[in-house]
Chains A and B, each alone.
Chain A
Amino acid sequence: MAYFARRFAFFLATLWAAVTLNFLIPRLQPGDPAEAIVSRIGGKGQAVDPAQLEAVRTMLGAPGGNLFEQYVRYLGAVFSGDFGVSYSYFPYSVTHMIGEALPWTLVLVGVTQILSFVIGTLLGTWAAYRRNTRVDSVITLGSTFVGTLPFFWIALLLIYVFAITLRWFPERGGYGGGSSPGWNWLFISDAFQHSVLPGLALLITGPIGWIIGMRNNMVQSLGEDHARLAVARGLPERRIAITYGARIAILPNVTGFAIALGSILGGTVLVETVFNYPGMGRLLLESVSNKDFPLMQAIFLFTTIGVLIANFLADILYGFLDPRVRKAENS
């Protein structure tokens, strides 16, 4: 029990630190959001109109009070779920904008993460089970090779082949203009079509980490004494691999997977940028480049909280999966 209590206390402390840093960091950055907005309206080749700057400053409103008062107000707002109004989508609220972007990322990245983990773990197990055979070399060498290719290059290659040359799938966006978001067949099939290429790009590169990690862990655990004993006792090879090798080898991957799921909230900036996908990654990139502090803060906060919660859950899960951890902390 002490183990879980300790984990929880640690979680709360990290959460507080994250929320506080999240408040401080944007305020330490140079630059004025109003100026960023006005120069974006005009473009870099145009003179900035001081009157417009004044109007935008009035529109955004200046934060009142000293830093500490702002901090207290910020904490209150965070706990009541009020993240304010987005600067770059004024007058829409931050919550509204995140609500629009989040489903896209959750579905695309969530599904591909889970698939990547499953595919990666299975392939890794297979490679370790058939270690030092041709299957192992193909899987290990193949994934190492693909892993060295830059992600955006793979994504662009997919766009070039399937969207531009063959024109099987659309080259960008989350859905076409012809359908409107909603629970209708036209929109869902349209959104699916648009998700194929980004999903494929994520699935090509996603499983690699899991494959390598799983294979190496499992090869190692199959070389340990208890596994060799099992071989000596004449247990079936398959049973040794699954119950003695894979079960132990999967532990570090579970932690990794939990963290990966937690970080989904931040989106995948690269894939969403290359495919112009309307998810959290694009929103984050956009908020950073437009100095949209309220939006930026909220996305960072959600990402941090997501990772923290996932981490906490992984710790808890670990306690159940691996009794050694619990014991070590208790002694």
Chain B
Amino acid sequence: MRRSTTIRAVAFATAATLAVSGCTGTEQQSSGGTDGRVAFLDYGDFGGGSNPQANYNPYLDATRLGATDYVFEQLVVYDKYACEAKPWLATEYAWKDPKTLIWTLREGVKWNDGKPFTADDVVFTYELLKQHKALDNTGIWRYLSAVQATDAKTVSMTFGEPGAAAFTLFGEIKIVPKHVWSLVDDPVTFTNPEKPVGTGPFTVKAFNPQQLTLGRNPDYWQADKVQVDELRFHKADGGGQVDQLKLSRGEYDHNGMFVPDIKKTFVDRDPEHNHYWYPPGGSISFYMNLTKAPFNDTAFRKALLTAFNRQEIADKAQLGYVTPASQTALVVPGQAAWLPSDIPNQGVMGFDLAEADAALTAAGYPKNGQGKRLGKDGRPIAFTFRTPGEWTDWVQAGKIIVGNLTDLGFDVRQEGPTPQTYEADRAAGNYDTLLGVHGGSCNMFRNFQEPLASDQSAPIGKKALSNFVRWTDPRTDQLIETLRTATEESAQKAAVADLTKVMVDEVPMIPLWYGAKWFQYRTARAVGWPSEDNPYAAPGDNLLIITNLKPATAAK
């Protein structure tokens, strides 16, 4: 393994050098689509491993091709940046009572084989996931108890308990046609290879393991908003050196991959057209094992809030692509609407070692004569900090974290196990401190329940589901329960506000930076991509993006 890492590093360095040292860009074809539309856009890789096979089963997340995002649609589409639900196959939804949700479906929607889309298809889809647990990726049937069609345009969902907390999950299930899928023997192994039938803006035009072409669906229910005739995907090396070279040559109109020094290798090569936007995803946090001293002391954890140089981590270890994270566990600025108003600076903590030092001393952890930080037992505090050794950016961040802690007089040893060992130890609670990822989704219940609910924890030595720090607090559980059952937005916001206060006041973990969502785009052929100035969608909200793109010439 070591050898191949070196090879990749060298290959990578070479490619980077090549990219910088002047390879001529390919000639751009001017857009020549029908009716002034963009003839085609090149979206780069289409997933499915090095030898992709036709697989348009929208529920097989690990192996389906990215094309399914454009063929199938859901009842509502979430703008995952601001977390707003946009009406899609459903025009409206309303809670009849906390356990009953009524959907009104859009009129005039057709499957791409010409058959009409009806409430039967929606009911069939949800029943399909009930019968086949392997397809229920988000676990919606933990909450649902029945889905029924009241008439051809109305679907009613009933829940065992008030269901608002899981709303983001069941609104975003890809709806499949009953007249096709009801004939399938085993939907779990169905690859839907020949002309997948969906309601979406594109259909599969051609596929081989090297190239996938999607064609515009002229009968799409909002066809006037789709200004692109064709989407092309090419097999590349999934963000490796070839992909980076092609990106820098301007061969992709859009891609989403990690690129070192994006400004030099991409933007500077065509500053007019080459752009990127890396909005924040989940929080990457300093996890302390709360079953061990001194981490079980709230005053101790609180004192560490200003101990980390988050800006330096973002700038140096993360190449300036990310921003420091808010202590509230919310993703700011996208989810700022959920913040309580009295939290300064959106909950992003500053860096002040002197303040941390004073707070630690006041909490009963003074430094001794040699500058060593002492525990309550009077002995120097020593612990380990881990990141997977292969994840170099995390290792770099770890060096800054350990440096900050060492400056405070702690005796910290950094370790770099394999990702497998790291994850197993984190789940079993066999660690002192390490990095963990949580939140970042549009489902506020999940954002807090997964890392903080006591039912997601487990005794040390047993695998915890997602509460790896082992935070057990009756009040937190109660707030999460309130959030789960609240149907009114004001009640949800109140519960979230109280949970952010738990994060700030009791510090179950210390968020440091946000994982970035990679998104590069070119405006040579199409404009209207989401960006920092116009964040109408997050990268990956493909239906929203494709219905907002316009030909580049028309914009000028």
Contacts and interface: CB of A to CB of B under 8 A. Distances in A.
Given A55-B136, A89-B63, A177-B208, A35 B423 contact: yes
A44 interface: yes
Contacts of A96: 53
B465 interface: yes
Contacts of B190: 91
A52 B11 contact: no
B201 interface: no
Contact of B210 (A55, A165, A175): A175
Contact of B7 (A30, A152, A181, A283): A152
Interface in A42-98: 43-52, 54-56, 58-59, 85, 88-92, 96-97
Interface stretch (A201-209, A252-260, A274-282): A274-282
B137 A286 contact: no
B20 interface: no
A51 B138 contact: yes
Given A47-B440, A91-B188, A274 B11 contact: yes
Nearest to B450: A47
A156 B14 contact: yes
A31 interface: yes
B139 interface: yes
Contacts of B423: 35, 39
B263 to A, nearest CB: 21
A40 interface: yes
Interface in B270-290: 281-282, 284
Contacts of A153: 10
A315 interface: no
Interface stretch (B32-40, B233-241, B527-535): B233-241
A92 B236 contact: no
A41 B62 contact: yes
Given A55-B134, A90-B63, A276 B242 contact: yes
B246 to A, nearest CB: 9
B211 A177 contact: yes
B49 interface: yes
A92 B53 contact: yes
B281 A46 contact: yes
Contact of B188 (A50, A59, A274): A59
Contact of A172 (B7, B139, B237): B237
B516 interface: yes
A290 B27 CA distance: 38
Contacts of B446: 49
B137 A46 contact: no
B138 A282 contact: no
B11 A156 contact: yes
B126 to A, nearest CB: 15
Given A55-B134, A91-B189, A47 B420 contact: no
Interface string A16-31: 0000000000000011
A167 B60 CA distance: 38
A47 B438 contact: yes
Interface centre among A43, A55, A85, A174 (most CB of B within 10 A): A55
Contacts of A240: none
A47 B10 contact: no
A147 interface: no
Interface string A153-196: 10010001000110000011111111111000000000000000
Nearest to B439: A47
B133 A55 contact: yes
Contact of B282 (A40, A47, A165, A278): A47
B505 interface: no
B242 A55 contact: no
Contact of A282 (B4, B10, B51, B232): B51
Contacts of A285: 4
Contacts of A59: 60, 134-135, 188
Contacts of A114: none
A15 interface: no
A310 interface: no
Contacts of A85: 189
Interface string B433-464: 00001111100001000110000100000000
B209 interface: yes
Contacts of B60: 59, 90-91
Contacts of A172: 236-237, 242
Interface in B137-176: 137-139, 142
A45 B11 contact: no
A270 interface: yes
B231 to A, nearest CB: 13
A101 interface: yes
A179 B189 CA distance: 28
Contact of A176 (B49, B210, B232, B237): B210
Contacts of B516: 45
A100 B51 contact: yes
A89 B424 CA distance: 25
Nearest to A287: B49
A44 B135 CA distance: 23
A37 interface: yes
Contact of A160 (B14, B284, B391): B14
A174 B49 CA distance: 14
B131 to A, nearest CB: 12
Nearest to B51: A278
Contacts of B234: 177
A283 B134 contact: no
Contacts of B211: 176-178
Nearest to B24: A167
A164 B18 contact: yes
A173 B142 contact: no
B135 to A, nearest CB: 7
Interface in B393-436: 419-421, 423-424
A274 B188 CA distance: 35
Contacts of A273: 4, 7
B450 A276 contact: no
A290 B242 CA distance: 21
B421 A30 contact: yes
Interface in B39-86: 48-51, 53, 55, 60-63
Given A152-B10, A160-B14, A278 B440 contact: no
Interface in B326-342: none
Given A48-B466, A55-B137, A97-B51, A171 B420 contact: no
B188 A177 contact: no
B11 A282 contact: no
B265 to A, nearest CB: 14
B518 to A, nearest CB: 9
Nearest to A155: B11
B50 A37 contact: no
A97 B55 CA distance: 14
A291 to B, nearest CB: 9
B555 interface: no
A90 B441 CA distance: 27
A226 B191 CA distance: 68
A160 B18 contact: yes
A90 to B, nearest CB: 5
A45 B62 contact: no
16 contacts: A46-B282, A46-B515, A49-B138, A51-B136, A52-B138, A54-B133, A89-B63, A91-B55, A91-B188, A97-B51, A100-B209, A152-B10, A160-B18, A176-B210, A283-B51, A286-B49
Interface of B: 4, 7, 10-11, 14, 18, 23, 48-51, 53, 55, 60-63, 133-139, 142, 188-191, 208-211, 232, 234-237, 240, 242, 245, 281-282, 284, 391, 419-421, 423-424, 437-441, 446, 450-451, 456, 465-466, 515-516
Given A47-B438, A274-B11, 14 more contacts: A31-B424, A37-B62, A44-B437, A44-B515, A45-B515, A47-B450, A50-B465, A58-B134, A152-B10, A152-B11, A160-B18, A164-B23, A181-B209, A283-B50
Counting from the closest, the 8 A-B pairs by CB-CB distance are A45-B515, A177-B211, A51-B139, A91-B189, A59-B134, A58-B134, A31-B420, A177-B210
